[in-house]
Amino acid sequence: MNALAEAIGSFAVTRWASRKSRADFERWQAAALRRFLDRDLPRAPFYGKPPARLADLPVTDKALVMARFEDFNIHGLTANEAWAALARDGRAGSLTVGASTGTSGNRGLFVISEAEKYRWLGAILAKGAPDLLWRGMRVAVILPQNTGLYDSARKSKLIRLAFFDLTLGPEHWREALEAFDPTVIIAPPKMLRHFAAESFQLQPKRIFSAAETLDPVDRPVIEAFFRLPLDQIYMATEGLFAVTCRQGGLHLAEDSVFFEFEPAGEGLVTPLVTAFRRRTQIMARYRMNDLLRLSEQPCRCGSPLCCVDEIVGRMDDVFRLSSKGGPILVTPDVLRNAVLKADRRIDDFRLVQIAPDAIELRLLPTLADEAAASAHQAVRALLEARKATATVTLIRAPLPLETSRKLRRVECRPERAP
């Protein structure tokens, strides 16, 4: 099957699946998952034979996949060979190799075929901008690293795609971005907010937040500047996991990924993902590091795909603290809300656990003193209510735009915290 046919086929399947009833969709998904377990999964040496049930497979994670990379891809490509390919041009024969930026931990590798690359393109177009496709699209992708994934878009006559390297900083490509005049922008929320703060001359028809947690404090600033609703693409090294529909629902990509959820406390879950449309690098029951709050209601758009109310943050950034009753965990959303609800004038901050019993709250010097004091007291009160033994230090300092790492307003520094 040629590349264009793969993209069109994926586009069609993605649109078709979104029109099914939930019961019909689950039957279709179960059949697709069974096919994957019988036909594709056994081709990876790590598995070797089909399981009776998905639940019979072991749970995997990034550390295991990176340690035994050659056992999880059907071509036996080793991690060293993949890194070498990435250092050249990202090609290993007919395969494309990519990696995460590593800005939030160890870098993870992925390897995909040409067919999978175009399948990904068809799916993301079907979910993100089916109505814009036929009018021609100029897509600006502003991320820390270009990967071979985007090559498929460049070869389409309906799409002009330009990649702008986040790590270089916007001063290096502002002029080129404005001249490109994108109809669709995909960028981290901190960069979309920077466009607003610096009054970039941009008039897109759609904007997507990607690659970082979208904090509630950023949304109104971005939407007011662009005069558009801010949509999300939830995507990681491990694949495409959710895209916002036109009604604003962030739908899980259940048409290509089977999700299992592990409870993480406070009504949150962490996903185990099985990517049943991937055939080169097998990903089954892979534990993600993200904290999600699932929606209890179906979306108004009528799609059978479940929705996520909020991507709260990462398990890495849960504060692990001591208390008189033993160890306690405080999730990023609870900490974030404590700061933001303390005073309406607070629109940026950093809250960092730097040691088992020490937390730093960083606020802008221009913020009113009483607002800063309220936030400081709110965090201390939150911890006191949970009987946590930790000091909170207030620091007044600039919060510059960082392009070399992901923005994490609530962060547990693993090198110094427990």
Query: pLDDT tens for residues 279-333?
Result: 999 999 999 989 999 999 889 999 999 999 999 988 889 999 988 888 889 999 9
CA quadruple 300, 305, 307, 308: dihedral, nearest 10: -160
187 and 204 Cβ atoms separated by less than 8 Å: no
Six token digits for residue 201: 């001359």
3-state secondary structure of 241: strand
Nearest to 305 by CA among 261, 258, 262, 271: 258
Residues 260-277 have pLDDT tens digits of 999 998 899 999 999 999
250-252 vs 257-265, strand pairing mode: unpaired
Q: Which domains does the chain have, with CATH numbers?
A: 3-313 (3.40.50.12780), 318-412 (3.30.300)
- pLDDT at residue 135, rounded to an integer: 73
Burial grade of 363 (CB within 10 A; 0-12, 13-18, 19 or more): buried
| Residue 51 vs residues 151, 282, 284: alpha-carbon distances, Å | 35, 14, 11
Residue 58 DSSP label? P
Dihedral sign (CA 181, 185, 190, 196): positive
Residues 186-216 have pLDDT tens digits of 999 999 999 999 999 999 999 999 988 899 8
Residues 42-66 have pLDDT tens digits of 999 999 999 999 999 999 999 999 9
184-187 vs 137-143, strand pairing mode: parallel
Nearest to 246 by CA among 156, 132, 135, 134: 132
Phi, psi of 416 (to 5 degrees): -125, -25
Give dist(CA 326, CA 324) in Å, integer.
Answer: 6
| Residue 341 vs residues 159, 217, 224, 334: alpha-carbon distances, Å | 42, 10, 21, 11
293 and 337 Cβ atoms separated by less than 8 Å: no
- pLDDT at residue 109, rounded to an integer: 87
137-143 vs 350-355, strand pairing mode: unpaired
Residues 6 or more apart whose Cβ sits within 8 Å of residue 315: 264, 270, 289, 290, 291
Average pLDDT, the chain: 90
Residue 129: CA count within 13 A, CB half-sphere: 23
Six token digits for residue 299: 């979306």
230-236 vs 358-363, strand pairing mode: unpaired
358-363 vs 391-396, strand pairing mode: parallel
